[in-house]
Amino acid sequence: MAKRLELETLRADLAAVSSLLARRTPERDPVGHFQFSQRREMLEQQIRDLGDVEEPLAEVGLFFAGRPVIGSRGITADFSTKALGSFQSVVSARYAADSGPVGQRGRLRHRDRSQLIIKDVVRGSFGFVLEEVESGVDGAPSLKPALDDAVGIIYSAAKGGQVEFNEATDAQDPKVLDSVKSFFAFLDDQGASVRVVEGERDFTISRDEITRARTRTANLDVLENDEDFVGILYLLPEARRFELHDQHGQPTKKGPISRECFDTLVTPEGAVREGIAGSLQLATLKVRRTTMRNGETRLSYKLIATRPAEAEDVQTPVVGD
């Protein structure tokens, strides 16, 4: 993210220098033409060098505008503290969800590993550059996937179409959705807008879009429970998704695969383990019922466990309560 911002600055400088150079010729202004030519070459080299730099740690930039920002002077302390804390909650909940369902109460697991630090403060539409803390735990998962997913659900809620929003929310733990609700509710109450820069993504959520996202997320009522289904199982390893063609006349079930279950179905090299694809399985699915305020209910599924089906499984439906 810092790389992206630095590239923006260098490219802006290059455009300015190129404009000044275009007004000069070696004959009329030999010194000025030489100096600006050298400056242009230096900037072009810096841009090339920076393009090869890898960013090993997760980073994100949050740039706020609206009522809490006092011109170009600064931002209210109370707002910035709560806004960053609210965003941190989304990231921490998403990181915790990678290790299993997240409880609605109590301390989030691995919260210390999901902490972001303020790396830099940027003026203009006043903002903060946040960076992952390097973990001292060997083998600890990177924060990048969780941060990327957190930014993705924020984008979908505010700027995505209804289908994109539905798909994004169906894939998230209810605790993550609660954190996203709180994030948008706070920004809306405070009259703020925000620009988000993360990796290759750079988007601004306007005041109207903040209100839209608040309404969208507040309208969700999510209930989950585990149910067993018998069917022919097919896997899409690259997308980490499954299809279960039900053997009791119910519609085909589709959705993501939990990390724990995925590791039992696919080898470290990414190949489906022998005897699974196209076989008859008793699959345990986490069934989510998402109810909107208008009464519309949407079902979504996640595969959390599976085993070869036995004769009694096929004969008798085993759908849970």
**Residue 127's closest CA among 46, 183, 192, 176?**
192
**Residue 61's closest CA among 113, 139, 9?**
9
Label residues 146-163 b or e (16+ Cβ within 10 Å = b). Answer: bbebbbbbbbbbbbbeee
Decide if 304 contacts 259 (C-beta within 8 A): no
Decide if 68 contacts 75 (C-beta within 8 A): yes
- Kindly state whether residue 164 falls inside one of the protein's structural domains: yes
- Kindly state whether residue 173 falls inside one of the protein's structural domains: yes
DSSP strand E in the chain: where?
Answer: 59-66, 69-70, 74-75, 116-122, 127-132, 192-198, 201-205, 221-236, 241-246, 253-256, 279-291, 297-308
Do 95 and 238 belong to one domain? no
Report how far residue 64's alpha carbon sits from residue 121's, in angstroms, rounded to the nearest whole number. Answer: 11
Do 259 and 177 belong to one domain? no
Task: Categorize the per-residue pLDDT at 321 as very low, low, confident or very high, splitting at 50, 70 and 90.
Answer: very low
What domain range includes position 229? 222-315
H/E segment holding residue 108: none
Q: Give me the CATH number covering residue 310.
A: 2.40.50
Q: Which of 198, 218, 238 is the last residue in one of the domains?
A: 218
Report how far residue 256's alpha carbon sits from residue 245's, in angstroms, rounded to the nearest whole number. Answer: 15
Do 68 and 195 belong to one domain? yes
Q: Which of 171, 203, 218 is the last residue in one of the domains?
A: 218
Percentage of the chain beyond pLDDT 70 is: 87
Amino acid identity of residue 311, one-letter, is A
Do 37 and 72 belong to one domain? no
Report how far residue 110's alpha carbon sits from residue 18's, in angstroms, rounded to the nearest whole number. Answer: 49
Handedness of CA 107, 109, 112, 116 (dihedral sign): negative
- Kindly state whether residue 307 falls inside one of the protein's structural domains: yes
DSSP percent split of the chain into helix, strand, coil, nearest 5? 40, 30, 30
Do 150 and 186 belong to one domain? yes
Token pair for 293 = 């305020």
**Residue 87's closest CA among 257, 215, 205, 170?**
205
Token pair for 307 = 């085993």
Q: What residues have CB less than 8 Å from 256, skipping those under 6 apart?
A: 171, 240, 241, 242, 302, 303
Do 72 and 213 belong to one domain? yes
Do 113 and 174 belong to one domain? yes
Is the per-residue pLDDT at 301 higher than 60?
Answer: yes
The DSSP-derived string for 251-276 is: PPEEEEB-HHHHHHHB-TTSPBPTTT
Task: Categorize the per-residue pLDDT at 106 as very low, low, confident or very high, splitting at 50, 70 and 90.
Answer: very low
pLDDT at 101: 54
Give tens-digit pLDDT for 113-169. 788 998 888 765 688 999 988 755 555 567 888 899 999 999 999 999 988 998 888
Report how far residue 92's alpha carbon sits from residue 276's, in angstroms, rounded to the nearest whole number. Answer: 34
pLDDT at 56: 67
- Kindly state whether residue 320 falls inside one of the protein's structural domains: no
- Kindly state whether residue 53 falls inside one of the protein's structural domains: no
Q: How many CB atoms lie within 10 A of CB 111?
A: 14
How many separate domains does the chain show? 3
Give tens-digit pLDDT for 197-243. 988 889 999 999 999 999 999 888 888 899 999 999 999 998 889 99
Cα 74–79–81 angle (5° rounding)?
A: 100
**Residue 158's closest CA among 195, 205, 94, 202?**
205
- Kindly state whether residue 321 falls inside one of the protein's structural domains: no
Do 240 and 91 belong to one domain? no
Mean pLDDT of the chain: 85
Is the per-residue pLDDT at 51 higher than 60?
Answer: yes
Is the per-residue pLDDT at 298 higher than 60?
Answer: yes
Q: Which residue has the higher pLDDT, 319 or 253?
A: 253
- Kindly state whether residue 54 falls inside one of the protein's structural domains: no
Do 40 and 103 belong to one domain? no
Decide if 97 contacts 124 (C-beta within 8 A): no
Do 205 and 132 belong to one domain? yes
Do 14 and 157 belong to one domain? no
Is the per-residue pLDDT at 313 higher than 80?
Answer: no
Do 104 and 210 belong to one domain? yes
- Kindly state whether residue 157 falls inside one of the protein's structural domains: yes
